[in-house]
Amino acid sequence: MTRVLFARIGWMRWYRGPQQDDEKPIGGGEYNRQSVGHEAFNFLPLDGKMLGYFQPRLQPRKSRKQHPSTIKLERIERNFKGNRLTDVLVIFVATDPKHGGQRIVAWYKGATVYRYKQFSNDARRNSFGYFLTATVKNATLVPEDRREFTVPSGEGAFGRSNVCYELEPDGSPKEDTQWMKDAVEYALSYELENAAQEPGTEMDAAIADAVSITIDQAAGFQSNPRIRKAIEKYAMDRAEKHLRKLHYNPQDRHKTKPYDFLCFARGAELYVEVKGTQENGKAISLTPNEADHAL
């Protein structure tokens, strides 16, 4: 079983500290409306490590003096008594400020989770404290345009608290946790672009506009994201229908793999990439991962 913790943070593009066009986390709680939330540095590499933060629920007033907020490690692993739990999958969730909905934006694999806030004197991250640590190689940040995995909100899902556990307060497993299982599978099977390892996959606005115009001329690229999504969905639906007609048993993999469908025919695996366009299809564009997988 995978130890897992879900943490809500504000929305950013890079989480590498305030910078132009990515000044501070959007949403994620009252603190982010007034100041720069500590999670702004969650994906800033520091000597081979990432130091992660989110704001857990505040302790009862009488307990706040020494530790204002804590992470209940016993709700990650039943009956755990220590103050530091290792080998945890921490999945970060944020609300999309443009399109709405809670989405998985990043995760740490094999993370260490601390019960109490740890203090840091590292000026590179404004000496902000942290609750989580992970190696750089175990950190994944999903590029903004690939943040498609939605997380349900409200009772029985990821509610108002900034932390969501797999276990109830008495240590028993929660019911109706299929969304959690799907989220874990998504994170563990993801093989697409990782902006934590390759920040260039997240281009600034000026470069993105220039690239969009170039691709638009070459391959009929649709710069309006709503129209582009509609075209992609239409193409995927048509392709899936056609593949089923051929009895290829298509399995949708577009959220985690550098191809859209995995099919099976005559004992062979077929990898299908789907492209939709409003043009004549004379030219198409591929991401680096799509091209590498094809090769």
Distances (CA, A) of 241 to 230, 235, 245, 261, 281: 17, 10, 6, 12, 20
Q: What is the pLDDT of residues 176-226, one digit of tens each?
A: 789 999 999 999 999 988 999 876 665 544 455 555 556 555 555 555 767
Q: What is the pLDDT of residues 115-153, one digit of tens each?
A: 999 999 999 999 999 999 999 999 999 999 889 999 999
Question: Which of 187, 34, 184, 6 minimizes the C-alpha distance to 102?
Answer: 6
Confidence of residue 271 (pLDDT cuts 50, 70, 90): very high
Q: What is the pLDDT of residue 167?
A: 93
Work out the average pLDDT over 237-254. Answer: 94
Mean pLDDT computed over every residue of the chain = 86
Confidence of residue 31 (pLDDT cuts 50, 70, 90): low
248 contact partners, CB below 8 Å, separation of at least 6: 263, 264, 265, 270
Burial of 52 (0-12, 13-18, 19+ CB in 10 A): buried
132 contact partners, CB below 8 Å, separation of at least 6: 7, 50, 51, 52, 53, 54, 90, 108, 111, 112, 113, 114
Q: What is the pLDDT of residue 228?
A: 80
Distances (CA, A) of 263 to 270, 272, 275: 5, 7, 17
CA 17/CA 217 separation, integer angstroms: 35
pLDDT at 81 exceeding the cut of 90: yes
pTM, rounded to two decimals: 0.78
Instruction: Give me 101's structure tokens.
Output: 């909905």
pLDDT at 4 exceeding the cut of 70: yes
